[in-house]
Amino acid sequence: MTTDDERRENGMRVRREVLGDAHVDRAIAATTEDTADFQDYITRVAWGDIWSRPGLDRRSRSVSVLSALMARGAWEEVPMHLRAALRNGLTREELREVILQVGLYCGVPVANHGIALLRDLDAGAPEE
């Protein structure tokens, strides 16, 4: 069994590998008293526990995350995870396929929005 400190350390490593140093550094710099517990929680649990499990590779996790975010309409998170998916080895062609697959089950407006966010990745969003 791992300690919270070990989970936090592993989670921070995985978080940086998936999201990039620049994104994580911005999130840490923006941490306040109100957000500190949440930052600790997502680092330990999301990144240190779930993203670190051996059952799925990171490409598969990215597909799953993007599908869930788009289906849920959590659009503010999608660009970050599109960039993470590219970092995890998915190609733009594969991302288009994921978006089409989600659109089949969630509707054309969802796919349309997903394609627009993929198209806009290069147009001004921070790389990491």
The whole-model pTM stands at 0.90
62-69: long-range contacts at Cβ-Cβ below 8 A with a sequence spacing of 24 or more?
A: 62/88, 62/90, 63/90, 63/98, 66/95, 66/98, 66/99, 66/102, 66/114, 67/98, 67/101, 67/102
pLDDT (tens digit per residue) in 36-60 = 999 999 999 999 999 999 999 999 9
Q: Say whether pLDDT at 89 is over 80.
A: yes
> Mind listing the domains of the chain with CATH numbers?
4-50 (no CATH), 58-120 (1.20.1290.10)
